[in-house]
Amino acid sequence: MLIDVVKVAPYPDFTLELEYANGERRQFDTTPLLTLRPWTTLATWSLFRWARVEYGTVVWPGDIDIAPETLYECSKPIVGELGESAMGSHSQSVDTNQENA
């Protein structure tokens, strides 16, 4: 069973801090993907910083996304207070009820 991403915070080192619907927080390093299509366009902070949550996963302008399974399986748990203040100031969240989308 997949757990929806509900918040994302992109960082200049091309990592994403993710918060899941169950409250779990994880960190995903996108750098291995940035040499592969279609993610090569995300290798600049000016685009990468526009990460947002749609339909339970992370997306960017230009219809670029990362499969939710990949985000979860290739991310590492965040333990403690590491990213809590950053999630509040840099995060993008969305109502996962996309009926009107």
Domains and CATH numbers, the chain: 5-93 (3.30.2020.10)
pLDDT at 58 over 70: yes
**pTM, full prediction:** 0.78
Residue 66 or residue 88, greater confidence: 66
pLDDT digit string, tens, across residues 70-92: 999 999 999 876 554 445 545 55
Q: Residue 82's pLDDT is what?
A: 52
Q: Residue 79's pLDDT is what?
A: 86
* Torsional sign, CA 54, 57, 60, 62: negative
Distance CA 96, CA 37 (A): 27
pLDDT digit string, tens, across residues 7-53: 999 999 999 999 999 999 999 999 999 999 999 999 999 999 999 99
- Write the CA distances from 4 to 31, 35, 45, 74, integer angstroms: 22, 26, 25, 15
Half-sphere exposure for 36 (CA within 13 Å, toward CB):
7
Q: What are the backbone angles phi and psi of residue 44, rounded to the nearest 5°? A: -120, 140
Q: Residue 101's pLDDT is what?
A: 40
Q: Residue 1's pLDDT is what?
A: 66
